[in-house]
Amino acid sequence: MMRTSLLLLFALALSWGAAGIGHAGESGEIECLKSSAFFAGPDSPDHFKYAPERDADILHLALDVTPDFTNRTIGGTTRITFKPLVKPLEELKLDAVDLTVSRVESSEPITAYQVTGEKLVVTFAQPIPPDREAWVEVTHSAEPTEGIYFRTPEMGYLDGDTHLFSQGEETEARHWFPCFDSPNDKFTSEVTCHVPTGMTVISNGRLVSETEDTATGLKAVHWSQETPHSSYLITLAAGYFKKLEDRQGDTPLAFFTPPSEFEEAGNSFRDTKDVMAFFEQEIGVPFPWVKYDQVCVNDFVAGGMENTSATTLTDSTLFTEATENIRDSDSLISHEMAHQWFGDLVTCKDWSHIWLNEGFATYYESLYNGQKNGRDAMLYEFYGRARMITGMSDDVNSIVRRNYDNTSEMFGYLAYPKGSWVLRMLRAQLGDELFRRCIKTYLERHHHANVTTEDLRAVIEELSGNSYDQFFDQWLYHAHHPELEVRYSWDEKTKLARISIQQTQKLSDRVLLFNFPWTIRFKGKFGTEDRALHVKQKEEDFYFPLESAPEIVRLDPDYTLLAKVNFDPPGAMLDAELADSTDVLGRLLAVEQLAGKQSREGVEKLKRALNSDACFGVRLESAKALRGIHSEPALEALLDSTNQPDARVREQVYAAIAGFYDPKSRAAQLAMLAREKNPAIQSIAIRELGTYPEMDRAVLTQYLNSTSYRNSLASAAISAIRAQDDPAWIKPLQQNLLQRGADYPSREFARGLSTVAYLGRDQPDRSATEEFLLGYTGSKKRPVRLGAIEALGELGDPRASAALEKFALAREGTPEQTAAARAREAIENFRRPVEGLSNLQKEFLDLQKENRDLRKDFDALQKKFDALGQKPAGGKKSPSPVKTSKQPSTS
């Protein structure tokens, strides 16, 4: 899965791709709520998570459903075939949340069934003996808030685009059909869905039939997944879709979008065939399923979800050619496709091993990047990830761990980018050929089954003949990475290069001293010499005899170690590195060093790199470095470098210029706006112009009311309006949102609401703004509804608090409790005490404590008196030794 909550994080990781990774949608919000509701302390047994026990082996699940698009409900039957495992089975327990169950039948006599909030429990008259095949058939219906998501005109989506989609990962399947809803069981499945005749149904596996029923006017579409997979990978997408088709070898490929978005489908679909061909050759195992469909849906709850043979994608991955190479869908397409092997064919046994899904998908995504865009582009991607990982604060969790509160915690930077880095390091140690053989064996040995990290280690040890205990222990079962302080010196008399390496990471029972092979490359008149070393001490010196002093000392030239390295080579060495066309990493590191130097000479070097380096990544980093230096010459260098044919670099140069609050910067953005055609770059100028008070209101109004793909220019205008912070914008913005609301993606629209609130926050009369925002708290688009609630919090009008209170009360304990929690948060936000008030509170708390201490003393005294058979003076048993005249203010 690709999540939106990671989007911001990965945006920092330079070239993670523009596809938008994600899970900040509906289910993500629910997870947040779960974490606060079920927080278990680190010592609690609930804090440790294991795969659930299995009493029965599920063999097959057949789902037959009919959605009601008007009432947004779904009902039907689920027939589950199973065999008891080991012991006679008295009860079959299935996961089922918020399902109405009207009937349960079985091949075995049953005495009763119970529906609890979380489970459906079927009790058999006689225990079913192990290995006897049996079935239960459940008739159920649901008005789901998870698991199935409707997108209909009543909710504000386009009429001709009506559709629904499912989301299984991590534990949503149980919200629309009963099942064993954990990854550690695999079974075959079939889905039959009854829809109006003009609609399309997409599901896992092979299309068996499409039959029309004249009585109901519906058609039944029957799909069959004939090799086993886990419940979270069962999918259903149904509605109005248009389709593109292709073929890779014998595998049919299809790409679906809602009809109104079909024009852009080809842009995102175009590399699918190429990705599959590359993966089949690289992985060495043919694509494991009978077909591969990709379906774009509105307001998806993630960036992408790798359902078996039928991936769901966010429609925000679609893009127009106008954005040039700034946007593509390659990283998303390749990530989800890689999951078809890693995640779907072999599946982590439980979420503690989720890196076996996500780390692999992220790693193979990069391999495809390398295949398509060259090795330098791939190295730049790993460079970005390494900077992100080594820049994380509080990095004390291991990749594989059981001490988490909710599963969504596991879908973070440890599983994705760090997981991909672990595979990169493994490959470096094993070599390409052996690495490939290990991965192929791992897939072949465990196909259609579950895996743990130990299964991978076992294959690697078997094929390499080596122990990988330490590698797995330090990188997967312990946290962090080496932090290295490296110093270099040359002794001309002995012709020895000395390299001192110190591991400075804070050691604990979670973070070890690392043990790793490393290479140092010396370049000079003598040519290129690679010297291998093994780092395992906290501090160690290494000596290397060379013919003459090296011109370049490059640590880890093949980039095989995830580490934070502090190494400051002499200036002449940096120049040589920056000029080395064979070594993109060396050039990136040289740019990083120059970024920390304020000299004019350094600026000149960065400017040269920005305009002439062969790798776009080095050009991007040079622009960022100039922005970071933030001197007059740095701005001049950027202003001289706007003529960039590569749109990604042009975008970065203008973003860097926008970092300077300067009339020259403003003039450059205006000039760009007049000639630039790329909306992604135009948006930078529009946003930045908002930060200047002399911004021409007419220009901003023009962009606010402009028409562009996904309304991106109007969204940029909203950012500018926010920066202007002028209440005069409230009315025109409200009007724009009212009239053009349907043109915005839901989250951009929600940002518009937030901006209205922000502009109105200090107005003496906020009632009209409040009323405007309250109108959207009933929106059927969840991002809009939640955006409106947050905006009301931002508005900070105490009268809005009453409305929010009512809103929360009506929803608590219902499936809408996420919205209720947001409302409570919003209320809290504007109840947060002002500074003076909090001092008063502190004073009160201090007095309370003093009071308690005095009471303790008094009690002790009283006991002594009692023991002596005396009463204290006054004889009162509940004295109030301190009276406070100050009371905390509770507004």
Q: Does 704 bind Zn ion (CB under 5 A)?
A: no
Q: Which of these ranges, 361-369, 574-582, 727-735, 749-757, lies near Zn ion under the rule CB under 5 A?
A: 361-369
Q: Which helix (H) or strand (E) holds 461?
A: helix 453-464
At how many degrees (to 10) do helices 453-464 and 419-430 cross? Answer: 10
- Judged by CB, which is closer to Zn ion: 170, or 583? 170
Min dist. Cβ of residue 416 to Zn ion (A)? 7
Q: Does 1 bind Zn ion (CB under 5 A)?
A: yes
d(CA 332, CA 299) in angstroms, rounded, equals 16
Min dist. Cβ of residue 151 to Zn ion (A)? 23
Q: Does 63 bind Zn ion (CB under 5 A)?
A: no
d(CA 717, CA 724) in angstroms, rounded, equals 10
- Judged by CB, which is closer to Zn ion: 194, or 385? 385
Sign, CA torsion 634/635/636/642: positive
- Rg value, the chain, Cα: 31
CA within 13 Å, CB half, 739 = 11
Min dist. Cβ of residue 358 to Zn ion (A)? 5
Number of residues this chain uses to bind Zn ion (CB under 5 A):
3
- Judged by CB, which is closer to Zn ion: 57, or 358? 358
Q: Which of these ranges, 42-50, 97-105, 354-362, 767-775, lies near Zn ion under the rule CB under 5 A?
A: 354-362
- Judged by CB, which is closer to Zn ion: 361, or 657? 361
Min dist. Cβ of residue 447 to Zn ion (A)? 19
Place of tokens 């290990």: 438
Min dist. Cβ of residue 787 to Zn ion (A)? 26
Q: Which of these ranges, 219-227, 359-367, 422-430, 466-474, lies near Zn ion under the rule CB under 5 A?
A: 359-367
Min dist. Cβ of residue 8 to Zn ion (A)? 17
Min dist. Cβ of residue 1 to Zn ion (A)? 4
- Find out whether 620 and 653 touch, Cβ atoms under 8 Å: no
Q: Which of 419, 438, 305, 441 is nearest to 364 (CA)?
A: 419
Sign, CA torsion 393/398/404/410: positive
d(CA 222, CA 201) in angstroms, rounded, equals 9
- Judged by CB, which is closer to Zn ion: 1, or 484? 1
- Find out whether 49 and 409 touch, Cβ atoms under 8 Å: no
Min dist. Cβ of residue 305 to Zn ion (A)? 8
- Judged by CB, which is closer to Zn ion: 1, or 422? 1
170 preceded by cis ω (within 30°)? yes
How many C-beta atoms lie closer than 10 Å to residue 774's C-beta? Answer: 17
Tell me the per-residue interface mask from 310 to 349 with Zn ion, x by CB under 5 A, - otherwise: ----------------------------------------
- Judged by CB, which is closer to Zn ion: 416, or 616? 416
- Judged by CB, which is closer to Zn ion: 174, or 339? 339
Min dist. Cβ of residue 304 to Zn ion (A)? 7
Sign, CA torsion 85/86/92/98: negative
Q: Which of these ranges, 350-358, 578-586, 743-751, 789-797, lies near Zn ion under the rule CB under 5 A?
A: 350-358
Tell me the per-residue interface mask from 673 to 692 with Zn ion, x by CB under 5 A, - otherwise: --------------------
Q: Which of these ranges, 249-257, 357-365, 468-476, 773-781, lies near Zn ion under the rule CB under 5 A?
A: 357-365
- Judged by CB, which is closer to Zn ion: 122, or 333? 333
Q: Is 636 exposed, middle or buried, given 0-12, 13-18 or 19+ CB atoms closer than 10 A?
A: middle
d(CA 552, CA 540) in angstroms, rounded, equals 21
**Of 361, 625, 626, 695, which lies in the binding site for Zn ion, with binding defined by CB under 5 A?**
361
- Judged by CB, which is closer to Zn ion: 6, or 589? 6
Min dist. Cβ of residue 413 to Zn ion (A)? 13
- Find out whether 203 and 235 touch, Cβ atoms under 8 Å: yes
Please give the full DSSP string across 376-412, using - where no structure is assigned.
Answer: HHHHHHHHHHHHHHHT-SS---BSS-SB-SSGGGGSS
Name 239's bridge partners: 163, 200
Residues within the interface to Zn ion (CB under 5 A): 1, 358, 361
